[in-house]
Structure 1
Amino acid sequence: MRGLLLALQCACMLSVATAQGMPTAPVPAASAARDYLAEAKRVVDAAAQPAAPWNGPRNGPRAQPGKRVAIVAEDLRNGGIVGVVDGVLEAAKVIGWNVKIFDSGGTPDLRLKMLANALASRPDGLVIVGGDARALLPGLRPFAERGIPIVGWHVAAQAGPVPGTPVAMNVATDPFEVARVTALAAIVQSGGHAGVVIFSDSNFRIAQGKADEMAAVVRACSGCTLLDMRDVAISRSQELIPDATRALLTRYGKRWTYALAVNDIYFDYAAPVLTQAGMPSTAMAMLSAGDGSESAFLRIRTGTFQTGTVAEPLNLHGWQLVDEMNRLFAGGGVTGYVFPVHLVTADNIATDGGDRLLYDPANGYRDIYRRIWQRQ
């Protein structure tokens, strides 16, 4: 997929042979656009397939029971964070751990305080759900100094260990793949003529990275227009998004046909404004590069503006956090596993947990982790 984007950015009119450095004649613009849309559709269709069989770890240390684990959540008003926390709690019950939750409420002043409170609870391990590992570094250092292992979810721009911090594993799908699929889905749905506004939150590297990637994909589409990028703190969505939506409607009118966002929560407050403005659902399409909230599933199911969300397997990620932590407790290393990207649309929403308004891959991950931990 990255190859497609780079080719479009550098030489939208060139054939594949030219992109590979081979001499060839220029390709007409119309032909290049058709090839681009065909390849974009292939990528989007692949992302919309039902969950593939489990391709993650199948071996590892048995359960290290009796551990005390602290969870510091960025904001429990965020459905994605709640879904991950629920997964951690479900898996912790199986593996035999005691868990205590600390909620930062999306407030900068509370983030370091909640980490201090978590440290005071004398945990054996720390799980950060949301937030930014580098911004939280002053609060994380005391855990590292005490030899307390740390794992996180969406705490950095990429999955895996977070360089320069004591976070041993950032669990996430590939944020750049998430962003590309989201933007490509909008382009495919629009037939290559989307007028796009992107909502993001620059307080988080993972969010800003996704927004920048979506913007790059839109700019590479010759028939599309990137109208605006709006930086709105996720924690202030309820307060700020209604007025931002009204202002965008006034400025761009019918040119604004697609809204992309780094999180479904923006659409919770944008959709009612569109309805109040008398806009039919077919006049605006919303697609989110995470996380697959209940309200997003409802909007997709009912055809209320939102046409897609690249949903994270939130519960599965909670189980993975517990498995990564268990490996650290046992003196081993993390797996570095990254779950494949999945696009939820009206066509596939009934599968893989969609009937329960979430993306919960039907690939047997719970039983596999139980076997790894010898907790069957």
Structure 2
Amino acid sequence: MRGLPLAWALTCACACVPPIAAAQGVTAASAPAASVAGSARSFLDEAKRIVDAASRSVTPWSGPRTGPRAQPDKHIAVLAEDLRNGGVLGVVDGMLEAAKVIGWSVKVFDSEGLPDLRLKVLESALASHPDGLIIAGADARSLAPALRPFADRGIPIVGWHVAAQAGPVPGTPVAMNVSTDPLEVARVTALAAIVQSGGQAGVVVFTDAYFRIARDKADAMAAVIRACSGCTLLDMRDVAISRSRELMPDTTRALLARYGKRWTYALAINDIYFDYAAPVLTQAGIPDGGLSMLSAGDGSESAFLRIRTGTFQTGTVAEPLNLHGWQLIDEMNRLFAGESVTNYVVPVHLVTADNVNADGGDRLIYDPANGYRNIYRHIWQRP
């Protein structure tokens, strides 16, 4: 799933000239039609291979199996970007589950997606005298000045979806950003739209420009769509996640009025956009097969329901939210013990109608059946 195939998908158009032909001076305009068609077939074949691999059942646990035992009597403050967001809520639920096992107390502070409130709740979190801070969904670099007081007091910080890449966040005191590879998530999402459409998708991309991770995911999806000669990138819309309920209905109506039947695929950086777009599509008389939605995160309950019932949404690259909550607790435990973080990145998984009932899908979540709970219990030496 990593490396050459995805990079190739970003840089090679469906009708691109093979590198050897290009080196010999053959241009796309002068290339024989059969060669162009062959390139398109090769692109679609490679896209299908990548999508099929991402859709398979979960592989055995590939994360850590050793680490420090549970550090006792810790109090954790959690900054939740917005608990109305299914991704943030799922991760917080996983943290609470893992914290109970490891024996820690947790206090959650919800910023409700409001910039001013983020700073206020961070002040409240600091005033609670935590041993550690976990950030769920807020942008680490934007918060860097407000995080300095935690760092000055030696309070370790880890986060979920707080930067564009997994791992430590340069320029901030965040020791570990827990995430799947956001660019790989974005590429798989866009490639799934290409495969489902047979290379003929008319696409609108939804993002939230406040978040670097969202901008990067949207740009990656757009690049993949542009690489498909039979596809059309119709529009990219910047809609604040925190205002999606307010903005998406009118945005959806405007897009339908502008593009009509040319709009066949909606790609988004989060499922929440579709919560408010789907009812508008139904009201407009669009049949379920008339417009397909695919999300580059997070695998919300409503997304699973739409996929199971065939109501517009045909895919979500679901985050293992509960698992990520456990990983956040484990990374924090390692920091308390004076050890390094793991830098573990969970493989990308695409949920579609064909696999929606597996790996927790019967409970409307993506919860890999790889035994991660027992593995973390064993690492922490907890019953």
TM over 0.5: yes
2:366 paired with 1:359: yes
2:55 paired with 1:48: yes
Supply the distance in 1 between the matched residues of 2:150 and 2:368 (Cα, whole angstroms): 33
2:178 paired with 1:171: yes
The range that moved more, 133-142 or 290-299, is 133-142
**Residues 327-342 of structure 1 mapped to structure 2, 5 A cutoff:** 327-342=334-349
SS at match of 1:156: coil
Supply the distance in 1 between the matched residues of 2:97 and 2:213 (Cα, whole angstroms): 26
Aligned to 2:223: 216
Aligned residues: 374
SS at match of 1:135: helix
2:32 paired with 1:4: no
The one-character-per-residue Cα deviations of 1:265-287 (angstroms, maximum 9, x if unpaired) are: 00000000000001100100000
**Residues 44-83 of structure 1 mapped to structure 2, 5 A cutoff:** 44-83=51-90
The answer as to whether partners of 1:199 and 1:211 remain within 8 angstroms in 2 is yes
The one-character-per-residue Cα deviations of 1:50-76 (angstroms, maximum 9, x if unpaired) are: 111000000000000210000010000
**Residues 271-350 of structure 1 mapped to structure 2, 5 A cutoff:** 271-350=278-357
The answer as to whether partners of 1:15 and 1:24 remain within 8 angstroms in 2 is no
The one-character-per-residue Cα deviations of 1:297-336 (angstroms, maximum 9, x if unpaired) are: 0000000000000000000000000000000000011000
Equivalent position to 1:117, from 106, 124, 133: 124
The one-character-per-residue Cα deviations of 1:12-57 (angstroms, maximum 9, x if unpaired) are: 43336568x7999967111100010000000000000011100000
Supply the distance in 2 between the matched residues of 1:274 and 1:3 (Cα, whole angstroms): 34
**Residues 216-255 of structure 1 mapped to structure 2, 5 A cutoff:** 216-255=223-262
2:107 paired with 1:100: yes
The answer as to whether partners of 2:10 and 2:223 remain within 8 angstroms in 1 is no
Aligned to 2:212: 205
The one-character-per-residue Cα deviations of 1:181-239 (angstroms, maximum 9, x if unpaired) are: 00000000000000000000001001111000000000000000000000000000000
Tell me by how many angstroms 1:168 deviates. 0.1
Supply the distance in 1 between the matched residues of 2:139 and 2:10 (Cα, whole angstroms): 28
SS at match of 1:245: helix
SS at match of 2:260: helix
Aligned to 1:15: 18
The answer as to whether partners of 2:209 and 2:238 remain within 8 angstroms in 1 is yes
The answer as to whether partners of 1:200 and 1:211 remain within 8 angstroms in 2 is yes
Q: Which amino acid aligns with 1:162?
A: V
Aligned to 2:159: 152
Aligned to 1:85: 92
Q: Which amino acid aligns with 2:17?
A: L
Tell me by how many angstroms 1:4 deviates. 1.9
Question: Are residues 23 and 337 of structure 1, via their aligned partners in 2, closer, same or farther at CA, if it must alter by over 3 Å?
Answer: farther
Question: Are residues 162 and 278 of structure 1, via their aligned partners in 2, closer, same or farther at CA, if it must alter by over 3 Å?
Answer: same
Supply the distance in 2 between the matched residues of 1:248 and 1:24 (Cα, whole angstroms): 39
Tell me by how many angstroms 1:7 deviates. 4.0
Supply the distance in 2 between the matched residues of 1:41 and 1:297 (Cα, whole angstroms): 22
* Coordinate RMSD, CA, aligned: 1.5
Q: Which amino acid aligns with 1:264?
A: D
The answer as to whether partners of 2:79 and 2:133 remain within 8 angstroms in 1 is yes
- Hey, which bits of structure 1, 4+ residues long, moved more than 6 A? 21-25
Tell me by how many angstroms 1:374 deviates. 0.6
Supply the distance in 1 between the matched residues of 2:216 and 2:7 (Cα, whole angstroms): 18
The answer as to whether partners of 1:119 and 1:143 remain within 8 angstroms in 2 is yes
Supply the distance in 2 between the matched residues of 1:342 and 1:24 (Cα, whole angstroms): 38
Supply the distance in 1 between the matched residues of 2:216 and 2:142 (Cα, whole angstroms): 16
Supply the distance in 2 between the matched residues of 1:133 and 1:23 (Cα, whole angstroms): 47
The answer as to whether partners of 2:15 and 2:37 remain within 8 angstroms in 1 is no
Tell me by how many angstroms 1:138 deviates. 1.6
Supply the distance in 2 between the matched residues of 1:262 and 1:85 (Cα, whole angstroms): 19
Question: Which runs of 5 or more residues in structure 1 are unaligned?
Answer: none
Question: Which runs of 5 or more residues in structure 2 are unaligned?
Answer: none
The answer as to whether partners of 1:195 and 1:255 remain within 8 angstroms in 2 is yes
The answer as to whether partners of 2:9 and 2:43 remain within 8 angstroms in 1 is no
Supply the distance in 1 between the matched residues of 2:15 and 2:194 (Cα, whole angstroms): 15
**Length-normalised TM-score, structure 1:** 0.97
